[in-house]
Amino acid sequence: MERTQVAIIGGGPAGLLLAHMLHLDGIDSIVIERQSMAHVLERIRAGVLEEGTVKLLRNVGLGERLDREGLAHDGTVITWQDRPPFLIDTYKFTGRRMMAYGQTAITQDLFAAHTARGGRLVEAASNVRLHDVTSSSPSVTYEVHGEETRIQCDFIAGCDGFHGVSRQSIPADVLRTFERAYPFGWLGIMSETPPLEDIVYAQHERGFALASQRSPILSRYYIQCPNDTNLADWPDERFWAELKARFPRDLADKIVTGPSIEKSIAPLRSFVAEPMRYGRLFLAGDAAHIVPPTGAKGLNLAVSDVFYLHRALDAYYKRGTEKHLEQYSATALRRVWGAERLSWWLTKLLHVFPDHDGFDNKVNQNEFDYLCGSQHAQAALAEQYVGLPFEP
Ligand code: APR
Ligand code: PHB
In tens, the pLDDT along 254-267 reads 999 999 999 999 99
Query: What pLDDT score does 377 carry?
Result: 97
On the question of pLDDT at 224 being above 90, the answer is yes
171 classed as catalytic: no
Task: Give the 3-state secondary structure of the chain.
Answer: CEECCEEEECCCHHHHHHHHHHHHCCCCEEEECCCCHHHHHHCCCCCEECHHHHHHHHHCCCCHHHHHHCEEECCEEEEECCCCCEEECHHHHHCCCEEECCHHHHHHHHHHHHHHCCCEEECCCEEEEEECCCCCCCEEEEEECCEEEEEECCEEEECCCCCCCCHHHCCCCCCEEEEEEEEEEEEEEEECCCCCCCEEEEECCCCCEEEEEEECCEEEEEEEECCCCCHHHCCHHHHHHHHHHCCCHHHHHHCCCCCEEEEEEEEEEEEEEECCEECCEEECHHHCEECCCCCCCHHHHHHHHHHHHHHHHHHHHHHCCCHHHHHHHHHHHHHHHHHHHHHHHHHHHHCCCCCCCHHHHHHHHHHHHHHHHCHHHHHHHHHHHCCCCCCC
Q: Is the CB of 50 under 6 A from ligand 1?
A: no
297 classed as catalytic: yes
278 classed as catalytic: no
Residue 84 domain flag: no
Domain of residue 294 covers 2-51+101-179+269-350
Query: What pLDDT score does 242 carry?
Result: 98
Mean of all residue pLDDT scores within the chain: 96
Q: Is the CB of 40 under 6 A from ligand 1?
A: yes
CATH number, domain at 318? 3.50.50.60
Confidence bin at 278 (pLDDT 50/70/90)? very high
For range 277-294, the mean pLDDT? 98
Query: What pLDDT score does 45 carry?
Result: 82
Q: Is the CB of 106 under 6 A from ligand 1?
A: no
Distance from the alpha carbon of residue 34 to the mean position of ligand 1, in angstroms? 9
Residue 160 domain flag: yes
Residue 201 domain flag: no
Residue 207 domain flag: no
On the question of pLDDT at 44 being above 90, the answer is no
Distance from the alpha carbon of residue 236 to the mean position of ligand 1, in angstroms? 29
Report the number of distinct structural domains present in the chain.
1
Confidence bin at 342 (pLDDT 50/70/90)? very high
**Per-residue pLDDT tens for 361-385?**
999 999 999 999 999 999 999 999 9
For range 209-218, the mean pLDDT? 93
Q: Is the CB of 7 under 6 A from ligand 1?
A: no
On the question of pLDDT at 84 being above 90, the answer is no
362 classed as catalytic: no
201 classed as catalytic: yes
Residue 384 domain flag: no
On the question of pLDDT at 46 being above 90, the answer is no
Residue with CA at minimum distance from ligand 1 atom 8: 164
Confidence bin at 298 (pLDDT 50/70/90)? very high
Confidence bin at 82 (pLDDT 50/70/90)? confident
Residue 68 domain flag: no
Residue 236 domain flag: no
User: pTM of the entire structure?
Assistant: 0.96
Residue 152 domain flag: yes
Query: What pLDDT score does 217 carry?
Result: 92
